[in-house]
Structure 1
Amino acid sequence: MIQRRHLHSGVLFYPRGGSAQVIRYLLPRLAQTRWIPRHFAGSLGQAGSTSHARTFYEGIDVVGVDYNAAVQSTETGNDPIAAPTPMHPSYEDRIGAPDRIFAAVSPSLYAGLEARWQASFAAGGMGKAGTVHLHHLTPLQAAARAVAPRSRMVTTLHGTELKMLVGMKERVRISRRLGVPMAQLARDLRDFRPLEAQVARLYPRYRSLSEDEQKTVLSTRWSHWEHSEFWIEELHRYHSASDTIVTISDHDTKVAAEVFGESTREPVQIPNAVDVDHFRPAAPDTSRKLELLNTWLVDDAQGWKPGGAPGSIRYTQADVQRLVGPDGRLRPILMFVGRFLEFKNVPTLIRAFADASRGREQRPALLVWGGYPGEWENEHPYDVAVECEITEDVYFVGWRGHQDLPDGLAVADIMVAPSTEEPFGLVYLEAMATKTPVIATRTGGPRRFVVDGGENSNGWFAEPGNVPDLVDTIIRSLSHQGDIRRRAENGYRLVHEHYTWDRIAAQYDSVLGD
C-alpha cells in the first residue's frame, strides 16, 4: 500500500495566467497518487469569478488569500500593497494596474507582504508538511522557510520572473554606466518616455550607451524600477532557499543559469502539459461557428478599449456576417490567444495582419482572444487596429474562461502568437491538441516543439519582431489548405506522445518525492 504524503502548494498570484492553469491540472493528478495536496493562492473577486481562488481551483483543498480589500483601497487613493492583506506585486510593468511591478515596491512594504503569507501558511498547517511546492520566485519562499524550515522545498520557475530579473539587471547595469543611482533616475525621469535631448543634457554619459541601452533609458518608467537592486537580491535569496528548481523549457534553463550563475544544483526540466480530454479536435460547420462567434462578439461581448470595461468593444450580427465569404463559407480566420504583454507582440501581429490582408482576393480575419481586462503594456492592440484602419477585419473577443478556448481554437484555421522569448508557450500545444496549427517565432519555449519544415512540420516560424517576415509567414500559411491539414495532424500527434498531463504529473511525482 502506498503511503500518502502531505504536499503544500503555493502561488502568490490570483488566478489569471498560465501557471494557475498548470496548478489546476497538476494537483488533482498528484492527488490520485501518493499525495494529499493543499494549495495556498491569492484570490480576487467573489465566488463564481474565474479570479476567485476556490472557484478556479474547484475540487482542490484551497486556502485563499483575499486581495479584494487591497484592490478596493485604490479607489480612495490608498496603496494596495500597504493594505493589511497586501496586493501582490507583478512581474510586468503595466499601465494603471493595482499590482505594480516588484521593482516599484520598497523594502519597507515587502515586510508586510512576507508577514501576511507567513500567517496564512502557519494557519493552514504548512509547518506539518513534508514537501512544499511553490510556483514562481516570490516572497512565498521566505515565508515558507520561516514556517516550515525543515520541509523539502521545490520551486517551479514559469519564466515571467526570469524576464523581470533580466530587466532589472539590465537597468541596474545602465544606471551604473551612467554613473547615476537608480533612485536619482526615478526622481529625474518621472515623465514616461522623456525627450532624448533632455536625457542627454542630464547625463553626459548617455551617448556612450549602446543603441539598445538608449532605447531602454527612454522607454522605462524609472520610478517603477527604483528598487531593482533590492529585488535582485531577494530573488536570488528565494532561489537559494529552494532545494530543487524546476524549469519548464530549454530556454528558461539557459536563462536561469545566466541570471543565477552556474550552480551545482542543476535545474530539473519538466515541461507544461495539455489536458487532452478538454483540448481535442472538433469540426464545427459554418452554422455552428457563426453561432459561437455571435455569442462571443454580440450576445456576451467582452472586448475592451483602453480605459474601458469588458464589453466596451461590441459587434453586431452584421459585423459577424462579414466573416462569411461569397461562397457561403467563413473567410480564413487567424487567432491570437494571450495577455497584452510587451513580449507577446500583439501590435506587431496586427500591423503584419493588415499588410497580409491587403490585395488578397479573400481577406482573412483576426480574432484577438484574451487581454486581461484593464491590463496592457505599451501600445493597446485596439489602438493599433484603428491606426491601421483594419477594425472591420480584427475582432476583439476579450478575456474568456479556459472552458471556452477549445471552441475558439476550433473556429480558427491557424493560431498565431509571435511572442519573443516566450518562456514555454502552453497555448501553442493546446492549439495543436485541437488540430489547429500554429505560427510562432524561433525563440523561447516554442523552439522545442514547433517544427517548420520536413515531414514532421506542425507550424510555421516567423522572425521575431520582423513585420515583413511575419506578413510573408501569414500569407504562406494560408496558401495551401492541404499543408494546414498535414501540419495539424503532426501537431496533434506530438502533443499526445509527449505533452499529456499523465506523463508530466509522473515527472513531478518523482521530483517531489525525492
Structure 2
Amino acid sequence: YAGLDVHAVDFTAAARAPDPLAADPPFQPSFEDRPGAPDRVYASVDDATFERLVALWAKALDAAGAARADLLHLHHLTPIHEAALRHFPHVPRVGHIHGTELAMLDRIRAGAPAGWRYADRWAERMRRWAQSCDRLLVLSPEAVARVPAELGVDPDRVVWAPNGFDPQAFDRRPASPPERRAPGLPPARAPRPEARPAPGPRSRRTVPSPTVGSGSVTCRSPTPPPSSSPTRGSSSSTGPKMGR
C-alpha cells in the first residue's frame, strides 16, 4: 500500500477476544460458516450487532474522508454499504462482488441451516445494497450473466472487471520439474533403472510367457538377407516358438 493514504481498522485484539463479535471493534463476520473461526457467518448475526457493525464503518469512513470522496469503491456486500447509505448518501458507490456473498445467498435460498436465524434479513440487506450501487464490478463473464437475476439489478450496471496484477512485481519464468509437481506431494523420486537386454550380437532371449503357465516365448531375430551369413543366435524361422 505504499503511496496510498491508508486508514486501517485493527481487528487483532478482537480476533483473540472470548467473543470476537462483542469486542471493540467487533470482529467482522464472514459469508462462510466455519465452526471455531473467530468470524461468525453473517446469517447468524442479530440486529443489535448489525447496528454496531454499521456504526463502526460509519466512523471509519468518516475518518477516511468519505464525505469529500468522488466515489466509494466497496468490496463485498457488508455493513459498510449501510454506513455509506446512511451517512454519505450523496457519494456514488461502486460495489465489488467477489463470489462468497453469492454462495451464502445460494445456501439461504436452498434452505438455511438451523443456526442461521437471521438469514432472510441478511439476504434482503445484501440485495438492497447491490441495487443501490451505481455500478457492480464482478470477476468473470459468468458473474455478469448471473448477478442481475441473483441480486435484482439492472444488467447495464454490472461490469466485468478481472483481477489485475502488477507486472513489475509478478512475471512469468520457466518452472523446473520439481516446481511443476502438485503442491503437497513428496519430492519426485529418481526413475528406476529400466531392465534392458545385455548388449551383444545375440538377440535370442527367454521371457515368461503370458499365456503358457510354465512355458516360455522365444523371440528370434528376423531372417537375415540372402547375401548375409546367418549370425549366431538367428534362425530362419520368423515366428515365436512356444514350448514347455
Contact 1:106 1:227 in 2 (8 A): yes
1 or 2 for the larger relative contact order (CA 8 Å, sep ≥6)?
Answer: 1
Deviation of residue 109 (structure 1)?
0.8
Measure the CA separation in 2 of the matches of 1:238 and 1:69: 29
Contact 1:141 1:241 in 2 (8 A): no
Measure the CA separation in 2 of the matches of 1:58 and 1:241: 32
Distance of aligned partners of 1:262 and 1:120 in 2 relative to their CA distance in 1, 3 Å threshold: closer
1:323 matched to 2:188? The reply is: yes
Larger radius of gyration: 2
Deviation of residue 241 (structure 1)?
2.5
**Number of equivalences:** 191
Among the aligned pairs, what percent are the same residue? 33
Q: Which has the higher helix share?
A: 1
Corresponding residue number in structure 1 for 2:212: none
Measure the CA separation in 2 of the matches of 1:139 and 1:125: 18
Runs of 5+ in structure 2 lacking a partner?
A: 194-244
Match of 2:34 among 73, 80, 94: 94
Match of 1:124 among 54, 64, 68: 64
Deviation of residue 165 (structure 1)?
1.3
Contact 1:81 1:88 in 2 (8 A): yes
1:65 matched to 2:6? The reply is: no
Corresponding residue number in structure 2 for 1:257: 148
Measure the CA separation in 1 of the matches of 2:83 and 2:72: 12
Measure the CA separation in 1 of the matches of 2:149 and 2:74: 22
Within-5 A mapping of 1:208-227? 220=113, 222-223=114-115, 225-227=116-118
Corresponding residue number in structure 1 for 2:24: 84
Corresponding residue number in structure 2 for 1:142: 82
Measure the CA separation in 2 of the matches of 1:96 and 1:61: 34
What whole-Å deviation, never above 9, does each CA across 1:234-284 have from its counterpart, x for those lacking one? Answer: 102211231111222122122212222363653122222343343333235
Deviation of residue 142 (structure 1)?
1.1
Deviation of residue 118 (structure 1)?
0.4
Deviation of residue 105 (structure 1)?
0.8
1:229 matched to 2:123? The reply is: no
Measure the CA separation in 2 of the matches of 1:255 and 1:119: 34
Contact 2:15 2:27 in 1 (8 A): yes
Contact 1:162 1:255 in 2 (8 A): no
Measure the CA separation in 2 of the matches of 1:133 and 1:262: 17
Corresponding residue number in structure 2 for 1:482: none
- Residue type at the aligned position of 2:191: P
Within-5 A mapping of 1:147-158? 147-158=87-98
Runs of 5+ in structure 1 lacking a partner?
A: 1-56, 173-219, 298-302, 304-318, 329-514
- Residue type at the aligned position of 2:189: V
Corresponding residue number in structure 1 for 2:104: 164
Contact 2:140 2:161 in 1 (8 A): yes
Measure the CA separation in 2 of the matches of 1:240 and 1:123: 26
Deviation of residue 323 (structure 1)?
2.1
Measure the CA separation in 2 of the matches of 1:285 and 1:250: 33
Within-5 A mapping of 1:115-514? 115-171=55-111, 220=113, 222-223=114-115, 225-261=116-152, 263=154, 265-283=156-174, 285=176, 322-326=187-191
Deviation of residue 114 (structure 1)?
0.6
Contact 1:70 1:80 in 2 (8 A): yes
Deviation of residue 285 (structure 1)?
4.9
- Residue type at the aligned position of 2:36: G
Within-5 A mapping of 1:102-117? 102-117=42-57
- TM-score, normalised to structure 2's length? 0.69
Corresponding residue number in structure 1 for 2:214: none
Measure the CA separation in 1 of the matches of 2:41 and 2:2: 29
Measure the CA separation in 1 of the matches of 2:11 and 2:101: 21
Query: What is the SS of the residue equivalent to 1:133?
Result: strand
Measure the CA separation in 2 of the matches of 1:255 and 1:96: 32
Measure the CA separation in 2 of the matches of 1:97 and 1:264: 36
Measure the CA separation in 2 of the matches of 1:323 and 1:95: 36
Measure the CA separation in 1 of the matches of 2:75 and 2:139: 11
Contact 2:131 2:151 in 1 (8 A): no
- Residue type at the aligned position of 2:57: W
